[in-house]
């Protein structure tokens, strides 16, 4: 029989996580996702964007001091900013507040296979992701669309709000335990463990949503959404020894590929329209790495 504290911990946290959903205007065509979480309001989106802007400036200044910030005339910076310029107009439909963001795109010299978009539209790519994965423009657009989607869907504020709610839930559990004669430290440990697993699940959900919304943005901007399949095949080649899906904040690559393929019927017409092509006339997507098959 399960310990009553475990029931209480799970119950209290699922009550919190059940209060999810309130959303802006989502597109009527293309992909469909759920409403944005009300948890994002707990953290204060505007405040978070201000903090992100300060952190971004500090990061760029530090990179410049270390001669790791690529100059504006760097061919890869020009390339990244050109792709961003095509994506951003189609990003605005997912969050009207993004119209007022001061978008920035920079390139950092690092072997990390990484990229991000902070709240408020602050984008950074690492040279490692471009060079190690040999990203095509379509694949860059998939990565950038994914990162932009995190900011548009306010996942940073959502995660901060959920962490606040989880902390309050654990404190409440400890108080309840002490009143009922249970060991408060045991209650806190049980509640904290459930909260940690819950946060991982929320993060994987955010990653999946960002994948899907990013596909929509990239397709509308004229980038082939099938590049997402090749991208994650490349990522799989470069990330051997990754932790199991259950203990990772990111869905497994095979799961991401399956999710992308599931949404291709929704986004391929957007891509065809952007390119002025008949859907039946689109040729398979071919990446630039041997061993990865063309994607129909």
What percent of the chain is helix, strand and coil (3-state, nearest 5)?
65, 5, 30
- pLDDT at position 176 is 44
Give 139's strand partners: none
Name the one residue in this structure whose structure tokens are 């029989």. 1
pTM of the entire predicted model: 0.74
- pLDDT at position 248 is 53
- pLDDT at position 241 is 62
Residues 221 and 274: their CA atoms lie apart, in Å, by 7
- pLDDT at position 3 is 42
207 is catalytic: no
H or E element that contains 257: helix 253-275
Residues 287 and 231: their CA atoms lie apart, in Å, by 9
Name the one residue in this structure whose structure tokens are 């990565």. 143
- pLDDT at position 162 is 52
Quick count: other Cβ atoms within 10 Å of Cβ 88? 20
For the chain, counts of helices (H) and of strands (E): 10, 3
H or E element that contains 139: helix 137-152
- DSSP assignment letter at 117: E
- pLDDT at position 36 is 56
- pLDDT at position 186 is 39
From 49, 65, 139, 147, active-site residue: 147
Name the one residue in this structure whose structure tokens are 């950038």. 144
Query: In whole angstroms, what separates CA 171 from the centre of its chain?
Result: 29
How far is CA 85 from each of CA 90, 104, 138, rounded to the nearest angstrom? 10, 10, 14
- DSSP assignment letter at 289: S
pLDDT in tens, the chain (296 residues): 434 333 333 343 333 333 333 334 445 688 787 665 454 444 455 677 888 899 999 999 999 999 999 999 999 999 999 999 999 999 988 998 899 999 999 999 999 999 999 889 999 999 999 999 999 999 999 999 999 999 998 856 556 555 554 454 444 444 444 554 444 443 334 333 433 433 334 377 888 899 999 999 999 999 999 999 999 999 888 877 665 544 455 667 788 999 999 999 999 999 999 999 998 899 999 999 999 999 99
Residues 73 and 263: their CA atoms lie apart, in Å, by 37
């Amino acid at each position: 029989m399960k310990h009553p504290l475990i029931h209480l911990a799970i119950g209290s946290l699922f009550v919190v996580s059940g209060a999810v959903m309130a959303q802006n205007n989502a597109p009527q065509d293309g992909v469909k996702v759920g409403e944005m979480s009300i948890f994002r309001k707990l953290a204060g989106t505007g405040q978070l964007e201000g903090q992100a802007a300060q952190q971004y400036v500090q990061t760029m200044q530090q990179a410049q001091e270390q001669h790791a910030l690529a100059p504006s005339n760097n061919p890869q910076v020009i390339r990244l900013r050109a792709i961003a310029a095509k994506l951003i107009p189609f990003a605005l439909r997912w969050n009207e507040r993004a119209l007022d963001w001061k978008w920035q795109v920079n390139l950092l010299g690092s072997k990390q296979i990484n990229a991000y978009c902070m709240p408020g539209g602050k984008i950074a790519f690492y040279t490692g992701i471009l060079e190690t994965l040999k990203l095509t423009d379509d694949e860059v657009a998939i990565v950038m669309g994914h990162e932009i989607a995190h900011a548009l869907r306010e996942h940073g504020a959502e995660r901060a709000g959920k962490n606040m709610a989880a902390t309050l839930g654990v404190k409440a559990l400890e108080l309840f335990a002490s009143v009922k004669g249970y060991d408060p430290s045991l209650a806190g440990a049980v509640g904290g463990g459930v909260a940690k697993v819950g946060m991982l699940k929320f993060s994987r959900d955010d990653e999946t949503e960002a994948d899907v919304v990013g596909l929509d943005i990239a397709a509308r901007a004229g980038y082939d959404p099938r590049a997402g399949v090749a991208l994650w095949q490349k990522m799989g080649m470069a990330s051997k020894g990754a932790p199991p899906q259950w203990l990772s904040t990111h869905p497994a690559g095979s799961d991401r590929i399956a999710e992308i393929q599931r949404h291709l019927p929704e986004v391929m017409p957007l891509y065809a329209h952007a390119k002025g092509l008949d859907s039946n006339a689109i040729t398979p997507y071919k990446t630039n790495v041997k061993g990865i098959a063309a994607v129909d």
